[in-house]
Amino acid sequence: MNIKSFKVKTVSCIIAIGATTINTSTVLAEPEYYGGLQLGAHVALDDNLSLSHAGGANMDVTKAPGLSAGFVLGMQDDKVRVEFDYLRRQNRLGVFDVSNSGTSALASGHLDAEGKAISDSLMANALYNIGNTNDWQAYAGLGIGLSRIQFSEATAGGINVSNDSDWALAGQLMLDLVRPINETVDFSIGYRFFRTAAADISVLGGNESLNFSGHDLMARLTWKFGGTKVKKAVTPAKRPEPLVQPAKPSKEDLENESNNESKSESKPVPVPLPAPFIVYFDFDQSKITSEADRIIRNAANAYKKHGVIRVLAVGHADRAGKISYNDELSLHRAKAVEKALIKLGVLKDHIEIDSKGETAPSVTTADGIREARNRRVEIILKR
């Protein structure tokens, strides 16, 4: 089997790897899926061709800036994004700068070129949230996959140079800035540095090793689907019923009560449940800290001790950041607490999660203010 046929057959393997990567949702807590379109500008790096089969002919190939377009499918769990994307990058050939024509039919010097350099890439990407502002979320990551490299009807000085293609391994470095437009649509801008391994391309009648590399500036529009929706309705806190002072019993009532107690066994009074357990979080985080872990363990122990059959975990956020982002962040915090409770032996069917975003603060603040006491999850035990 030659190298070219081997690479072509591995395309299906890369696609399977990408699909398997996206299906890792089975081990993540209720991830959110998304899909969309991407469009951008691609600046390809120049190629240097040294043709040993053409008497050592040597030339540099320049390419005009071009377009890149494709689609993306992915999933997000807390701060991690895993995605599969297709992207076509296309550049028109500019000039063949021939420094040594060797035994080829090309003349030395600058030769006007025609044709296109094209890359069709299938990539599996992983990105991590490295920071946020009020409106934007920053992600950095990398991708690996396959790319079909093609020189389409390439000519220089009127002489046919190449019209061939081959598959090669590819990788990319990625930086994305994501801004939610509404609850279901995100807009993002990003940068890519893309490069392939060497591919075997026929140039002037002989195979040469070429790669495809360059820079991309991208814009994306994606739609979310699946996952758990953030509840927007704010349930008002139930006011405690006023205490009513019982009337002083008469002597006759006391005698009757004493007689009744002697005739029947008294019913056990249920032990009151403990107050809500409050789990606090660092700014813009849903990670369980060591102190938070201690509080969650206390809640799990109380669940087992009191025979509780309902546990409510309610997530909250402070007012630093966009409302829609804080809605998602408070939900992620509630999910993190739910996952920790399950690991400690609390039955999943006994847990209910809710999120209030920034609508139910423990401490009232102005918009945009960070407040540690509002970055919390309340664990409430119920019978």
Q: What value does the mean pLDDT take over residues 303-314?
A: 90
Query: What is the location of CATH 2.40.160.20 in the chain?
Result: 3-225
Looking at domain 3-225, which of 2.40.160.20, 2.40.50.1070, 3.90.470.10, 3.20.20.70 is its CATH number? 2.40.160.20
Can you give the pLDDT at residue 355?
95
Task: Indicate the range of 18-22, 69-73, 166-170 predicted with least confidence.
Answer: 18-22
- Secondary element (H or E) of residue 258: helix 251-263
Share of the chain above pLDDT 90, in %: 62
Provide the pLDDT for residue 260: 59
pLDDT value at residue 261: 57
Type of residue at 250 = S
| Backbone φ, ψ for residue 279 (5° rounding) | -105, 120
How much of the chain is in helix, strand and coil states, percent to nearest 5?
20, 45, 30
The pLDDT score that the predictor gives to residue 23 is: 43
User: What's the mean pLDDT in 298-316?
Assistant: 91
The answer to which of 101-105, 115-119, 155-159, 260-264 has the lowest mean pLDDT is 260-264
- The angle subtended at Cα 350 by Cα 348 and Cα 355, nearest 5°, is 85
pLDDT at 6: 46
Instruction: Concatenate the DSSP letters of all residues of 297-320 into one string.
Output: HHHHHHHHHHT--EEEEEE---SS
CATH 3.30.1330.60 domain span(s) along the chain: 272-382
Digit-coded pLDDT (tens) for 109-151? 999 999 999 999 999 999 999 998 767 889 999 999 999 999 9
Pick the range with the lowest mean pLDDT from 24-33, 218-227, 367-376.
Answer: 24-33
Longest Cα separation, the chain: 125
In degrees, to the nearest 5, what angle opens at C-alpha 224 toward C-alphas 218 and 228?
145
Quick one: pLDDT at residue 180?
Answer: 87
Residue 65, phi then psi, degrees to nearest 5:
-55, 145
> What is the tens place of the pLDDT at every residue in 280-294?
999 999 999 999 999
Rounded to 5°, the CA angle 311-312-313 comes to 120
pLDDT for res 241: 55
What does the pLDDT read at residue 1? 46
Residue pLDDT, tens place only, 191-242: 999 999 999 999 988 888 888 999 999 999 999 887 544 444 444 445 555 5
Q: Give the pair of three-digit tokens for residue 244.
A: 């009513």
pLDDT > 50? residue 381? yes
Q: Is the pLDDT of residue 250 over 90?
A: no
pLDDT exceeds 60 at position 16: no
Average predicted confidence (pLDDT) for the chain: 85
CATH architecture classification, 272-382:
2-Layer Sandwich (3.30)
Weakest mean pLDDT among 179-183, 227-231, 263-267, 370-374: 227-231
- Reported pTM: 0.58
